[in-house]
């Protein structure tokens, strides 16, 4: 079962994969890939990212850290 993760850890992972936080609208941080072909919105309410969003990141990036499960 996927666990909620700290936004800091999710953003660190996305940066390591070449993604950039291009803008923020309210509590939603918009990330884009280096080539600007893919976009993902990460809602941040408080300190953590909910498990459903973490699962979406895991689907897009199969090499996510093992401790995210």
Domain with residue 30: its CATH number is 3.30.920.30
* pLDDT tens digits, one per residue of 13-37: 999 999 999 999 999 999 999 998 8
* Parent domain of 10: 5-62
Is 38 inside any structural domain? yes
What pLDDT is recorded for position 66?
A: 84
Is 55 inside any structural domain? yes
Q: Using an 8 Å Cβ cutoff, are 39 and 31 in contact?
A: yes
Is 42 inside any structural domain? yes
Is 67 inside any structural domain? no
Assign 69 to helix, strand or coil.
Answer: coil
Is 28 inside any structural domain? yes
Query: How many domains does the structure of the chain reveal?
Result: 1
Q: What is this structure's pTM? A: 0.86
* pLDDT tens digits, one per residue of 40-68: 999 998 889 999 999 989 988 888 888 88
Cα–Cα distances (Å) from 28 to 43, 65, 66, 69, in that order, read 4, 23, 25, 23
Is 68 inside any structural domain? no
């Amino acid at each position: 079962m996927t666990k909620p993760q700290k936004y800091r850890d999710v953003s660190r992972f996305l940066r390591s994969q070449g993604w950039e936080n291009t803008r923020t609208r309210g509590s939603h941080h918009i990330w884009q890939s280096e080539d600007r072909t893919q976009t993902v919105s990460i809602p941040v309410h408080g300190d953590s990212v909910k498990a459903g969003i973490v699962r979406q990141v895991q689907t897009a990036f199969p090499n996510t850290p093992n401790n995210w499960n």
